[in-house]
Chains A and B, each alone.
Chain A
Amino acid sequence: MSTRYFGQRIKRNEDVRMLTGQALHVDDVNFADMLHVAFYRSRDAHGYIKEIDVSAAQEREGVVAVYTAEDLGDYWQPGPLLVPPPPTIKGLIFNQRTQVPLAKDKVRYVGEPIVMVVAESRYIAEDAAGDIWVEIEPLPAVIDIEQALSEDAPPIHDDLDSNLAAHVIQRKGDYETAVQQADLVIKRKLKYDRGTAAAMENRGIVAQWDAKSHKLTVWDTTQAPIVIRNGLAAMLGLSEHQVRVIAPFIGGGFGPKIMMFYPEEVLLPWASMKLNRPIKWIEDRQENFFATTQERGQVHEAELALTRDGRVLGLKHNFIHDGGAYIPYGLTVPLNSQANALGPYATPNYYSEFKVAFTNKPIVTPYRGAGRQHGVFVIERMLDIAAKELDLSPIEIRRRNFIQPEAFPYNHEIIFQDFAPLVFDSGNYEPALDMAVEMIGYEQFIKEEQPRLQAEGKKVGIGVAAYVEGTGIGPYEGARITVEASGKVSVASGIGTQGQGHFTSFAQIVADQLGVDVRNVYLVTGDTDQFHWGAGTFASRGAVVAGNAIHSAAVEVRKKILKLASEKLEAAEEDLELADGQVRVKGVPETAINLGSLAVMANPLRGAVRPGTEPGLEATSYFGPESGTTASGVHALIVEVDPETMLVEVKKYVVVHDCGKVINPLILDGQIHGGVAQGLGNAFYEQLHFDENGQLLNASFMDYLLPTALDVPRMEIGHFETLSPLNPLGIKGAGEAGAIPAAPAFVQAVENALGEAGPEILEIPLSPNRLFELVLGVGLTQKTR
């Protein structure tokens, strides 16, 4: 019998290497004659470049080259638009402006690179960057997203009359009719401020041009090595076969590493070719706060129309999205916000209009959740407020509005980020809510614990929030699986890996099909010389899209094994089994052939391979889903707020998660833990503070507060499986879910803890300081002694 790995909580194949420092990261790539890069970055958020003087830098000993935009000649080009706006949305405005390798006439955010210094060491390169003189004629900085769109805001892109980057209206049904029918309409303004992904490993690039073999190798912390390879080849005038991009082990992606092309990604390979030497740039933590993309600034105006019994008739949801200085990633983030405000709820009428504003701040691209949390925040808060008005429990109002299980596939009618209509393939929301309510002990808390603790003067509260996550979008991924003569099975895929456990979960899929030990499945990913095709790891799509491609290739290899073994053993395929790394006639162990031996038979040194047959036990397959699959879940937590200091402690945290068929619950739990940590960081710790001049006031981990291991609570996780009909394995993505509903659940719990006399909270992130201000606003602290 073959071992069933799929669904098992097995430990990760890659952990020994990672935990013992044996995993290759970009900064581990070293060459004897390697050069190092540092950048002179703009100190002004907005202004015209009047003069650049690099002479002192050029003269410094150990400096090899100093480049400005002028030196790039025709190579200087704005970056590509990664995701164009959906062609099917009518009346859409989109002003494409993408980042440039080095600022030429104008700087548009603090940290924008102006000069690239190449030197014998990073130390010298930084010294030389300090020698550079750049004169900027400053312009007023555009920081506040609402003001950015006002008439008197100076345009950040001079050829536009305003800072409007995009304008999109989407509707379903007729919201105005809903208002006429409604018993209650509530209106609120909600805010969500910026944060940064703060991956453990910053970005880094090593580029090595080999003049003799005429090949360029680039090690890059990218989430999309294949797309980088294709782009670089085109930009540098090389064949795709002359460029090899390797995305080795990466200490966290979270989205910002899917952005391309970062200026450094364009410049390093070019400079390596020009100087004919290997060249390295490792982003330091300070640079990361400016040079890596960020997310999350949005201001929302929402209106919810309901019946007396809490049924949502319609939602109006208008918002402004902070695009930052350039918008290379198109509309992915605001489209996610727009879609996710519908949540798991059957909202018959929806009107949503958003504007994207250019601001003098770092570029915004998706970061774990990618705009979904804004939509979830809006609808979950609005439901909470409506529940209060209607004297319903927050649980009940959600229950009454869930899309019912028989309604799937459920068409929300608007267009999603993958250009397809927003259709939820499957889901079953109420049981997940019940499970979460049960696990957190909702009834008991509300009826007994809370009154008892409140009577003791403790401010404890509970929050429950539901969400959906559109995952596993196309276009496609592929994989090639080979049984090697050793009996080991190799799997090559193009997607790249940043800690998701691919070396294990993908191996589990293969091991089950081929009846081999999971440790004998060797995965190669993120090396463009190993697999030519693919898109990348993003949008919670790895397991869904690459996982199913790998499954399909494994099924093909299995067929080849059975076919050849049936010939060799003179037995019918149905009578064969694959187990223990062997193929054999069921019940006749002496017939066993090791898969390695069979692989050799399939690739003979003599004798003809018959026409129509391919050598070896190998297959390549692709999987491209027509549309994304919708995962869902519920978070619930209990908090205690110290009424004197406004510090908040999470006492209990529960996640009920439905991402279809689970490959490895251990890995899934890890994904959720990390996501919740980021979600809570977003809710209560992390915030990028820009002053009115666009200077970031907290560009270090001393002042940008990530929740540490000591601040993140233990979580209890319940799994619920509603299989996706859109792929053979029935799986849905899980990468972002943890981060999405944490903030609204947290806010609901804090609000609940502060009680009737407390404030209504309509913003994220919070902090003790901000809570103090909010509470003071309603006069609570005066009352507490």
Chain B
Amino acid sequence: MKPPPFEYFAPTTLDEALDYMADYGDEAKPLAGGQSLIPTMNFRLAQPEVLVDLNGLAELAYIRPAAGGVSIGAMTRQRSVERSPLVAEQTPLIHETMPYIAHPQIRNRGTFGGNLAHTDPASELPAVATALNARFRAQSRSGQRWLTADEFFVDLFTTALEPEELLVEIVIPPLPARTGYAFHEISRRHGDYALVGVAATVTLDDSGLCEAARLVYFSVGDKPVEAVQATAALAGQKLSAAAIDAAAEIAATQDIDPPGDIHASVAYRRHLAKVLARQVLAAATARAKQD
């Protein structure tokens, strides 16, 4: 479990880092917290020829208010996001999700941007970022561009980033009025990747009916999977237990096509997806009523 040889650069500015990325393109991998990349290299599943270490880029570690929402630099440690009062206040769904990611030791090193760039299908943040309509700023030597979550998450461990691009910033817009949110996951042990997890938001209209809902799963496909049929069925409805039940059923049986593996069969994943959908939709609705 030793990685093959690689070249290592430790830039201290973003420009310098982008230069390396431009020069080495395909052969290079940026190194953030290393909590996913280093194990993959030690297993020799990834064999990058060049590592561009982003840990010297203090300019990418920040949490700032942004038009009612929050802007988070890619190199911000997961633990900083978890402990940020600004995040807790402006985007509480992220705040509530952070403790589910691995263990404190790992969150101390692992970064917010690294987690999203890694796009593990079992990872919490891509689903939450999708539910929250997060926007992603990608930068290369030749310029920058903004991507939506749908655009950013392409496939299993694959984002829309070009080889020479870095993810530099994630902006999470504020939730609309009368919106509630909830997150839940089922994992085997404390700190494990989830067998199934889900994030939800529910927005009520003036009369208390469902104006819009989002239900985004993780660990049930190659990337975050949004239960669009289930939430469509809720639009304009009163969010009664029966309506939520019906939506959960649709989500588990029609919206997702989960894989089976040694930890959870397809049937068990579907069952958990239903149980979780019921819980988060009910919780988000309750919060929306208070909002």
CB of B67 within 8 A of chain A? Answer: no
The complex places the Cα of A776 from the Cα of B272 at a distance, in Å, of 13
**Contact flag A773-B262 (CB < 8 Å), given A130-B4, A647-B186, A710-B191:** no
Out of B2, B192, B263, name the residue touching A769 (CB < 8 Å). Answer: B263
The complex places the Cα of A407 from the Cα of B95 at a distance, in Å, of 64
The complex places the Cα of A174 from the Cα of B59 at a distance, in Å, of 82
A781's nearest neighbour on chain B, judged by CB, is B271
Out of B2, B188, B193, name the residue touching A767 (CB < 8 Å). Answer: B188
Out of B44, B189, B193, B268, name the residue touching A772 (CB < 8 Å). Answer: B268
The complex places the Cα of A360 from the Cα of B180 at a distance, in Å, of 54
CB of B267 within 8 A of chain A? Answer: yes
| Chain A 673-692 near chain B by CB (<8 Å), digits 1 or 0 | 00000000000010101000
| Chain A 696-713 near chain B by CB (<8 Å), digits 1 or 0 | 011010110101101100
What's the dominant secondary structure at chain B's contact region? Answer: loop
| Chain B 24-40 near chain A by CB (<8 Å), digits 1 or 0 | 00000000000000000
Out of B1, B5, B195, name the residue touching A285 (CB < 8 Å). Answer: B1
Q: Are A645 and B275 touching (Cβ within 8 A)?
A: yes
**Residues of B with C-beta under 8 A to A14:** none
- Could you tell me the distance in whole angstroms from the C-beta of B240 to the nearest C-beta in chain A? 14
Q: Are A707 and B5 touching (Cβ within 8 A)?
A: no
CB of B8 within 8 A of chain A? Answer: no
Q: Are A769 and B264 touching (Cβ within 8 A)?
A: yes
Q: Are B268 and A769 touching (Cβ within 8 A)?
A: yes
Out of A644, A685, A705, name the residue touching B275 (CB < 8 Å). Answer: A644
| Chain B 248-291 near chain A by CB (<8 Å), digits 1 or 0 | 00000000000000111101100110010000000000000000
Q: Are B265 and A769 touching (Cβ within 8 A)?
A: yes
CB of A556 within 8 A of chain B? Answer: no
Q: Are A710 and B190 touching (Cβ within 8 A)?
A: yes
- Could you tell me the distance in whole angstroms from the C-beta of A680 to the nearest C-beta in chain B? 12
Out of A285, A286, A703, name the residue touching B263 (CB < 8 Å). Answer: A703
Q: Are A645 and B262 touching (Cβ within 8 A)?
A: no
Q: Are B265 and A773 touching (Cβ within 8 A)?
A: yes
Q: Are A710 and B186 touching (Cβ within 8 A)?
A: no
CB of A146 within 8 A of chain B? Answer: no
**Residues of A with C-beta under 8 A to B43:** 286, 700
Out of B189, B191, B268, B272, name the residue touching A773 (CB < 8 Å). Answer: B268
**Residues of B with C-beta under 8 A to A286:** 1, 43
Q: Are B189 and A708 touching (Cβ within 8 A)?
A: yes
The complex places the Cα of A454 from the Cα of B2 at a distance, in Å, of 52
B188's nearest neighbour on chain A, judged by CB, is A705
The complex places the Cα of A644 from the Cα of B252 at a distance, in Å, of 14
**Residues of A with C-beta under 8 A to B188:** 685, 705, 767-768
Q: Which of A285, A685, A768 has the most CB of B within 10 A?
A: A768
Q: Which 7 A-B pairs have the closest CB atoms?
A: A710-B190, A284-B1, A689-B262, A123-B2, A644-B275, A772-B268, A769-B268
Please name 17 further chain A to chain B contacts, defined as beta carbons within 8 Å, in addition to the given A644-B275, A700-B43, A710-B189, sorted by A numbering.
A126-B44, A127-B4, A130-B4, A285-B1, A286-B1, A645-B186, A685-B188, A689-B262, A703-B263, A707-B189, A708-B189, A708-B190, A769-B268, A772-B265, A772-B267, A773-B268, A781-B271
**Could you tell me which B residues sit within 8 Å of A by CB distance?**
1-5, 43-44, 186, 188-193, 195, 262-265, 267-268, 271-272, 275
Q: List 11 A-B contacts (CB under 8 A).
A: A123-B3, A123-B5, A284-B1, A705-B192, A707-B189, A708-B189, A708-B190, A768-B188, A768-B264, A769-B264, A772-B271
